[in-house]
Amino acid sequence: MKVLVIGRDSGIAGAVAARVRDAGGTVVLAGRNQDEHVDLTDESSVAALAERIGSVDHVVSTASARARGTVADLDRDAVRASFDVKVIGPILLARHFAPRMPRDGSFVFFSGASARKVMPGMLAVGATNAAVDAVTRSLAVELAPIRVNAISPGTVDTGAYDGLGAEKKAALFASREATSPAGRVGQAPEIADAVFFALTNSFMTGISLGVDGGEVLV
């Protein structure tokens, strides 16, 4: 199978690419800083990527632009960027890649636990992720029989939290480890396994699959 993976070549995107290759699949890795360039906020960039790489069996987008902060602190442009990348971006991917897919192809997008659990400072992130869930369900109906699913991870140890600084990142992880039923944060390969399941389970569509260590339960 040929899989387009959008995101950084480290973290979850890198783990997904490795998981697909280990199964004998072919991976095209694309992103703003990849050899295959794409900017999900620019439809012409998405269209150009589709023209360059042609047909694919599956598309996975791990791209995000987080807008953390309370309602008093949120930056309007950051909120727009969050929706542009994680909500509008997948819609554009569906528009330009679905016609190049076989009937048994699929899309996998990324939501997040904040769509299901309210946490202070995660207003825009939660709203974005909830919108991803809605887009996933709608596209699963509209694009059928092409399947569309989302992965909804909890706190995962990737570079996504490096922007907090070492001290704040360590405090966040310690807090999540103390309250999560799993007793720890997730690792990128665990999320990649869930993505591969979504890619290969031909009877699953319209689902947002929680892989969160039970984080949303407490």
pLDDT at position 69 is: 86
pLDDT at position 168 is: 85
Indicate whether 216 pLDDT > 90: yes
Cis ω on the peptide bond leading into residue 145 (within 30° of 0)? yes
- 80-130: per-residue pLDDT in tens? 999 999 999 999 999 999 999 999 999 999 999 999 999 888 899 999 999
Whole-angstrom CA distances from 176 to 2, 72, 213 are 36, 24, 10
b/e map 3-39, b = 16+ CB within 10 Å: bbbbbbeebbbbbbbebbeeeebebbbbbeebeeebb
26-31 β-sheet, strand order: 36-37, 26-31, 2-6, 58-61, 106-110, 147-153, 208-211
pLDDT at position 121 is: 86
Task: Identify the band that residue 35 occupies on the pLDDT scale cut at 50, 70 and 90.
Answer: confident
Contact 86, 108 (CB under 8 A): no
Indicate whether 66 pLDDT > 90: no
Average pLDDT of the chain to the nearest whole number: 95
Chain position carrying tokens 């966040």 = 172
- 132-143: per-residue pLDDT in tens? 999 999 999 999
E strand or H helix that includes residue 146:
none
- 174-214: per-residue pLDDT in tens? 989 999 999 999 999 999 999 999 999 999 999 999 999 99
Chain position carrying tokens 């922007």 = 163
Indicate whether 165 pLDDT > 90: no
Indicate whether 163 pLDDT > 80: no
pLDDT at position 10 is: 81
pLDDT at position 215 is: 93
> pTM of the entire structure?
0.94
pLDDT at position 160 is: 77
